[in-house]
A and B are shown apart, each in its own frame.
Chain A
Amino acid sequence: MNENIAMNDEEYSDYVEQKAKKSPIAKNIFWAFLVGGLICMIGQLIADICMFFSISKEDSSTISTIILIFLGAFLTAINVYSRLGKVAGAGSTVPITGFSNSIVAPAIEFKMEGYILGLGSNMFKVAGPVLVYGITSSVIIGFIYWLIKLFM
């Protein structure tokens, strides 16, 4: 609140909202779809190539995942992924390459503070929540699955 401004906090917030430039949602969605889809296609392509050389389906998808993680890390290191993220948004954050980016980026950044307390303790700064809640929810779902199996 301010005595010179004839608006309360809520009114001011609405006023700012109405003045603020909006995100170009249609453009963002288009690029997210295109880049996200492209990354998934590359993954599928790798898996298909593996299966073509008669590797099992399960192993093929593991190989594809590993290669995508490497690509994400590599593109982060040469400063391409951050530029890609600027255009693609969720399209490059959601696939596994984005997960790789979220671990490698802080690792590069915090190397300056040393390998143990810098890199080591900050590497999962961005990806940490994904790991914590990803693992927790998979354990819970697994437990529910086990319970259902017991009675079926």
Chain B
Amino acid sequence: MKVGKQTIRLENTPKILDTCSIVGPKEFAGPLSSYFDLHVDDVFVGEKSFEKGESHMLNSCINHLLSKNGFSTQDIDYIFAGDLLNQCISSGYCIRDFNIPFFGLYGACSTFCESLTLASLLVDGGFAKKVVAATSSHFCSAERQFRMPLEHGNQMSPTGQCTVTASGCAVVVPGTVKGNSPKVTYVTPGKIVDMGIKDMTNMGGAMAPAAFDTILTHFKDTGRNPNYYDKIITGDLGLLGADILVDLFSKQGIDISSKHEDCGCIIYDNEAQDTHSGGSGCGCIASVFSGYFFEQLKTKKLNKVLLVATGALMSPVSSMQGESIPSIAHAVAIENEV
């Protein structure tokens, strides 16, 4: 049921039964390494190109999710997936092998919450019993599409972020399924916010207003406030974007600093790993949520979280044509029954 301006309350509260995450070598060397299910040591993942490698990684991630829950591909009704590459080839080629009906999504780095939202709605409406939501990103394939060739010697801006090599996926089941998995209670799909930032190396600055808008709308629509949640988790705002988000809220007299955590800020050791403003990419929130935060939800260290993935919807073409960066954020409220 729609509540307020943008939010939907999920009456049947579908459950996130389980998640799975896989990361690349650099992410595995980061501070969260022990929380990820799988990792790969080679950025090619044994394939001939980075794009194939990314597909392979997503494939392993979904396969592991199914096998650890004793599911076969026939058990899954639908799959929502997306990535950063043109025409979402990583997802398309990965899911080709699965024989599962597939919806390809593009929401840049916001794709994980977009797919989780749609998967939850489909299950909540009673149209499906098991739906998978998945996303991936890969540093090397994103770098060659959005920036310079890898071997080119150049400097990154201090506001720049490093695309995360990782995939994450979750399986959503109806609320009536037994077990104490966390439930999806509300979703707030975001609208596009563009504050005129044109610098492709400053996506945190471009995306922070979108995250702010969606979170504030979520609070207004549901009548909740930051104190309701144990954590407000944003996708990949990075150090600068996270700073701006907290500041924008404090300008409204709302303090989220103690509740807010950004996946882009915690996936790397920014100083030691030279990742400037932090991590980005759809794999960032996907892997950090699936690995780190879902574990805490399962063990009830966290009971109520608001997961907000943020995306910058530009392309190299639009940037070269002088366009600013349209940004979006989708919020999903995930809660344990207490």
Q: Are B196 and A9 in contact (CB under 8 A)?
A: yes
- Tally of B interface residues using CB under 8 Å: 39
- Tally of A interface residues using CB under 8 Å: 44
Confirm or deny: A101 has a beta carbon within 8 angstroms of a beta carbon on chain B: yes
Q: Are A105 and B151 in contact (CB under 8 A)?
A: yes
Confirm or deny: B273 has a beta carbon within 8 angstroms of a beta carbon on chain A: no
Q: How distant is A34 from chain B, measured CB to nearest CB, in Å?
A: 15
Partner of A109, one of B151, B217, B251: B151
Interface Cβ pair total, 8 Å cutoff:
112
Q: Which has the most chain A C-beta neighbours within 10 Å: B48, B196, B213, B239?
A: B196
Given contacts A16-B244, A92-B153, contact A21 B195 (CB under 8 A): no
Partner of B240, one of A7, A20, A24, A86: A20
Q: How distant is B90 from chain A, measured CB to nearest CB, in Å?
A: 15
Confirm or deny: B118 has a beta carbon within 8 angstroms of a beta carbon on chain A: no
Q: Are B213 and A4 in contact (CB under 8 A)?
A: yes
Q: How distant is A24 from chain B, measured CB to nearest CB, in Å?
A: 8
Nearest residue (CB) in B for A78 is B151
Q: What chain B residues lie within 8 Å of A7 (beta carbons)? A: 195
Nearest residue (CB) in A for B274 is A86
Q: How distant is A118 from chain B, measured CB to nearest CB, in Å?
A: 10
Interface window among B142-150, B169-177, B261-269, B283-291:
B142-150
Q: How distant is B273 from chain A, measured CB to nearest CB, in Å?
A: 13
Whole-angstrom CA separation of A10 from B213 in the bound complex: 18
Nearest residue (CB) in B for A7 is B195
Q: What chain B residues lie within 8 Å of A64 (beta carbons)? A: none
Q: What chain B residues lie within 8 Å of A16 (beta carbons)? A: 197, 202, 205, 240, 244
Q: How distant is B190 from chain A, measured CB to nearest CB, in Å?
A: 11
Q: Are A84 and B153 in contact (CB under 8 A)?
A: yes
Which residues in window 1-22 of A have CB below 8 A to B? 1-2, 4-7, 9-10, 12-13, 15-16, 19-22
Binary interface profile of B, 295-338, with partner A (CB < 8 Å = 1, else 0)?
00000000000000000000000000000100000000000000
Q: Which has the most chain B C-beta neighbours within 10 Å: A1, A19, A77?
A: A19
Q: Are B197 and A105 in contact (CB under 8 A)?
A: no
Q: Are A79 and B151 in contact (CB under 8 A)?
A: yes
Confirm or deny: A112 has a beta carbon within 8 angstroms of a beta carbon on chain B: yes
Whole-angstrom CA separation of A134 from B285 in the bound complex: 44
Q: What chain A residues lie within 8 Å of B251 (beta carbons)? A: 6
Q: Are B202 and A20 in contact (CB under 8 A)?
A: yes
Confirm or deny: B77 has a beta carbon within 8 angstroms of a beta carbon on chain A: no
Q: What chain A residues lie within 8 Å of B209 (beta carbons)? A: 2, 5, 12
Whole-angstrom CA separation of A125 from B243 in the bound complex: 36
Confirm or deny: B158 has a beta carbon within 8 angstroms of a beta carbon on chain A: yes
Given contacts A9-B195, A109-B144, contact A19 B151 (CB under 8 A): no
Binary interface profile of B, 170-204, with partner A (CB < 8 Å = 1, else 0)?
00000000000000000000000111110000100
Confirm or deny: A60 has a beta carbon within 8 angstroms of a beta carbon on chain B: no
Q: Are A19 and B158 in contact (CB under 8 A)?
A: no
Whole-angstrom CA separation of A98 from B155 in the bound complex: 13
Whole-angstrom CA separation of A77 from B150 in the bound complex: 11
Q: Are A89 and B155 in contact (CB under 8 A)?
A: yes
Whole-angstrom CA separation of A126 from B274 in the bound complex: 24
Partner of B152, one of A2, A4, A101: A101
Q: Are A82 and B152 in contact (CB under 8 A)?
A: yes
Q: How distant is A71 from chain B, measured CB to nearest CB, in Å?
A: 13
Q: What chain A residues lie within 8 Å of B152 (beta carbons)? A: 82, 85, 101-102, 105-106, 126
Known contacts A2-B209, A20-B159; can you find 17 more A-B pairs with CB under 8 A? A1-B195, A2-B193, A4-B216, A6-B251, A10-B196, A12-B209, A13-B197, A16-B244, A20-B205, A85-B155, A86-B154, A93-B154, A98-B153, A101-B151, A102-B152, A105-B149, A125-B149
Q: Please provide the 5 A-B residue pairs with the shortest distance between their CB atoms, ordered closest to farther.
A: A85-B153, A9-B196, A105-B151, A105-B152, A109-B149
User: B: which residues have CB within 8 A of A?
Assistant: 48-50, 144, 148-159, 193-197, 202, 205, 209, 212-213, 216-217, 239-240, 243-244, 247-248, 251-252, 274, 277, 324
